[in-house]
């Protein structure tokens, strides 16, 4: 949701904080920016991002396209000139705001953490894993790996599976996302403790697909150790195109954009998940309550103008469909 934030509203935000409300829009924006920076340096309570745990299979089969990252919260534009404006993004429960002005990447990098207030819950998960243990001092890398309770095995780059994923990556990098290129550094197979058993009941579900899920680097300790999770009930509904759920995509670059990599921080991590979609509700426009599925439906599909060519899809031995075809108009 995007609209203009009037100068009066900008001044009201400053007034709430007991700050001077006089000056030009750039001055007001800078003043509010500094206030937000200070607010977000305060300690965060234990109740941040208290999402209930849910398996990749459970959440993936219910809705397709985004996790508890909260990247699409309400957006408002500051100022009347878009070229000089900025964005104010509402985050988590405290109605705090984050400014992301239209600035060069080297400046925006300083505010990267501010845009991740909703990720503090994931950071909290990571810090909980750093227990006082003798092994932590002897071999901190291996200790932290053990705390994930998740087995990661590198995939041989001359394997058939590696080649398939590389093809899926290349073919589904949309032309509309051509402002960056991607080099595969490493592919791992992931086995989280108990996940195979939990997904077993969906192993024969019709319409299982291998789909992408991208997320910020700060979220991966939580994702690998606890799985993908649905946003909690108290999280604002605004910004979830099809309601609260875990979102996946059949276009690599669609999910890659949620990694928020840039030329200063070029690394990004994505999952390829087996998602039990079952019978889907297909929608061509946003519907915020789409997570309330009719009986017999397992997921919601947001239908875009482009899709990987169905005729080029690959079906694996276990029946999972890999939509690795080149994009075509529907």
Q: Looking at residue 34, what is its pLDDT?
A: 75
For 57-90, how does the pLDDT look when each residue is reduced to its tens digit (9 = 90+)?
333 333 333 333 333 333 333 333 344 344 433 3
Residues of the chain with confidence (pLDDT) below 50: 1-4, 42-104, 106-120
HEC per residue, the chain = CEEEECHHHHHHHHHHCCCCCCCCHHHHHHHHHHHHHHHCCCCCCCCCCCCCCCCHHHHHHHCCCCCCCCCCCCEEEECCCCCCCEEEEEECCCCEEEEEECCCHHHHHHHCHHHHHHHHHHHHHHHHHCCCCHHHHHCHHHHHHHHCCEEEEECCCCCHHHHHHHHHHHHCCCHHHCCCCCCCCCCEEEEECCHHHHHHHHCCCCCEEEEEEEECHHHHHHHHHHCCCCCCCCCCCCCCECECCCCCECCHHHHHHHHCCCCCCCCCEEEEEEEECCCEEEECCCCCCCCCCCCCCCEEEECCCEEECHHHCEECCCCCEECCCCEEEC
What is the number of residues in the chain? 330
Q: Looking at residue 238, what is its pLDDT?
A: 65
Its CATH class, for the domain covering 127-329, is alpha beta
In the chain, ranges of CATH 3.90.228.10 domains: 127-329
Q: Give the whole-angstrom CA distance, residue 91 versus residue 108.
A: 18
Q: Looking at residue 72, what is its pLDDT?
A: 31
Q: Looking at residue 158, what is its pLDDT?
A: 94
């Amino acid at each position: 949701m995007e609209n203009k934030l009037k100068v009066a509203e900008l001044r009201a935000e400053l007034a709430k904080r007991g700050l001077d409300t006089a000056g030009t829009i750039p001055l007001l924006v800078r003043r509010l920016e500094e206030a937000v920076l200070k607010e977000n340096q305060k300690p965060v309570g234990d109740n941040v991002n208290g999402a209930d745990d849910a398996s990749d299979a459970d959440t993936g089969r219910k809705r397709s396209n985004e996790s508890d990252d909260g990247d699409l919260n309400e957006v408002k534009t500051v100022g009347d000139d878009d070229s000089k404006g900025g964005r104010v993004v509402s985050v988590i429960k405290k109605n705090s705001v984050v400014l992301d002005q239209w600035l060069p990447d080297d400046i925006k990098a300083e505010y990267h953490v501010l845009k991740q207030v909703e990720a503090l819950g994931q950071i909290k998960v990571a810090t909980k894993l750093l227990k006082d243990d003798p092994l932590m001092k002897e071999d901190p890398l291996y200790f932290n790996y053990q705390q994930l309770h998740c087995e990661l095995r590198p995939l041989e780059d001359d394997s058939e599976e590696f080649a398939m994923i590389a093809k899926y990556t290349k073919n589904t990098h949309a032309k509309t996302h051509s402002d960056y290129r991607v080099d595969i550094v490493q592919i791992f197979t992931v086995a989280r403790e108990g996940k195979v058993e939990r997904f077993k009941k969906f192993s024969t579900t019709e319409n299982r697909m291998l789909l992408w899920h991208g997320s910020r680097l700060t979220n991966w300790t939580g994702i690998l150790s606890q799985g993908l999770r649905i946003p909690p009930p108290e999280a604002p509904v605004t910004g979830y195109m099809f309601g609260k759920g875990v979102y996946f995509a059949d276009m690599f670059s669609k999910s890659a954009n949620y990694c928020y990599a840039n030329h200063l921080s070029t690394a990004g991590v994505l999952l390829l998940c087996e998602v039990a979609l079952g019978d889907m509700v297909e929608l061509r426009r946003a519907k915020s309550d789409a997570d309330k599925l009719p009986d017999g439906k397992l997921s919601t599909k947001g239908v875009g103008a482009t899709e990987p060519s169905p005729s080029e899809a690959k079906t694996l031995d276990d029946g999972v469909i890999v939509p690795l075809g080149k994009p075509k108009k529907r």
